[in-house]
Structure 1
């Protein structure tokens, strides 16, 4: 926690708040991390995956992909949307596990910060 005098205008121009990603951003996160792992993003239903990951952070989405790749490899098959969806269902995001803390941060940010994406 920083003292208020360190956060005043003139020291910091703005305080930004970055919330969890929206559906379009989550789809782009899937696209980026699939490409990084030599997967063709257009072979996956990114819209369905984005819809299924409401409340997930970018790091949690990345971990879903990593876990799904391990699962597909263990079963000697290619990664597909169903395998990713199964990993999504098996994952409890921080926004669920620590919902009170996440919601508290959102309440704190309201009116105090500039929203950023």
Structure 2
């Protein structure tokens, strides 16, 4: 789902926006998005910031967590790397996912694993 309208609205309302960058060992960090932030294409087909100020996860109020499928009881299927599950394991802010109707299920139709982290809110 395209989050650029949310990003634009947040910036227009003087909110800080952070964007993810993947790291080795399936880790990730979030970088402050500024006017001069350069984003480059990754092997995953996403765009990530080059350089920039890394924001500590304790300073992030909320994250929009992507996924392929979501259940109404807050499980999600990601893209297979476990990056967000690792990041969310000790994240204290709110995690929010955006789901289109075809992505939403009453209950998970996929295997739920012990390391899967539930999102706090799913907007559909």
> TM-score normalized by structure 1?
0.22
Q: Which has the higher contact order (CA 8 A, sep 6+)?
A: 1
Q: Which has the higher strand share?
A: 2
> TM-score normalized by structure 2?
0.21
Q: Which has the higher helix share?
A: 1
